[in-house]
Amino acid sequence: MTTVGAVIDRIYRTMLTPPDYQPAGTPLLGDIDATQTTLRLSTFAIIEDEQLLRTGTIIEIGAELMRVAAYIPSSRDATVERAVYGTVATAHLNGAYVILAPSYPRQSVFEAVADNIITLYPKLWTTSAENLISIAGNVAGVPDDLAVEVLTVWPNGWTNTIDLDARIVDYHPAVGGRAVVTNVDAGDIWLRYRRRMGKATAETDVLEELGVDERWVNIIMAGVR
């Protein structure tokens, strides 16, 4: 299953930082936790890259941005301000790549991907089916947070009506939120419904769980430029 993070990696690999355009940087030397403000860098493969390290330079490890407060060239030790520009401080392992003055911060790319996903609907959508087994007083809770429109309804077991109908409403007092309202007042039914896209909150989010068909990845990627 494809994750949001995998889409971001592909965007960097094929669009933002292809092999002939690699950002300046070097590996991290040693692990750091989410609170450390001093880190040591490995030897720079390209000497000129080190000249970018000065007070005020923004560096990136993973999705975290840091601001350099001081740098000692002889030891390659940098004192940094953690989690700037709205990013989150996290632990980083030895060998993690430290990008100097990133042109395309990973957090910004993540936000662009998340925005592109939710704007796919209503031009694109997926469908799913659900068996509602707790109908009482013609109302049942919405089985899927991404469900937006009932497409078809069919019976399962005993019902007191043949002409079945159902629709999704944003609020119903019987359930205290979104609900499926149907003309079936007892028993259970099957619904086939249209799904919108969910908002990604982490790179580990799976596209399918966000309502995204993996065939739409190129559309999501194209919107990042």
pLDDT tens digit sequence for 12-57: 999 999 988 889 999 999 999 999 999 999 999 999 999 999 999 9
DSSP 8-class letter at 102: -
pLDDT given for residue 187 in this prediction: 73
**Cα–Cα dist 13/24, whole Å:** 15
Helical residues (DSSP H) of the chain, grouped into ranges = 4-11, 106-118, 217-222
Sequence ranges of the domains in the chain = 24-102, 126-195
Of 30-39, 112-121, 185-194, where does mean pLDDT reach its minimum?
185-194
Local confidence band at 116 (pLDDT 50, 70, 90 cut-offs):
very high
- Residues pairing with 192 in the sheet: 129, 152
> 145 or 187: whose pLDDT is higher?
145
| Nearest CA-CA partner of 31 in 39, 23, 22 | 39
**CB atoms near residue 156 (< 10 Å):** 12
Burial of 210 (C-beta count, 10 Å sphere; 0-12/13-18/19+)? buried
DSSP string, 104-157: S-HHHHHHHHHHHHHTSTTTS-EEEEEEE---BTTEEE-S-TTEEEEEEEEEES
4 Ramachandran zone, left/alpha/beta (phi>0; psi -120 to 50): alpha
pLDDT tens digit sequence for 131-170: 887 667 788 888 888 999 999 988 876 555 567 889 999 9
**CB atoms near residue 194 (< 10 Å):** 18
**Mean pLDDT score of the chain:** 92
Per 3-state DSSP, what percentage of the chain is helix, strand, and coil (rounded to 5)? 20, 35, 45
| Nearest CA-CA partner of 167 in 153, 185, 186 | 153
**Cα–Cα dist 215/153, whole Å:** 28
pLDDT given for residue 72 in this prediction: 96
pLDDT given for residue 177 in this prediction: 87
| Nearest CA-CA partner of 66 in 54, 56, 75, 52 | 56
pLDDT tens digit sequence for 52-79: 999 999 999 999 999 999 999 999 999 9
Burial of 84 (C-beta count, 10 Å sphere; 0-12/13-18/19+)? middle
Local confidence band at 80 (pLDDT 50, 70, 90 cut-offs):
very high
Helical residues (DSSP H) of 22-125, grouped into ranges = 106-118
Tokens found for residue 89? 């401080």
Q: Classify domain 24-102 at the CATH topology level.
A: Thrombin, subunit H (2.40.10)
pLDDT given for residue 157 in this prediction: 63
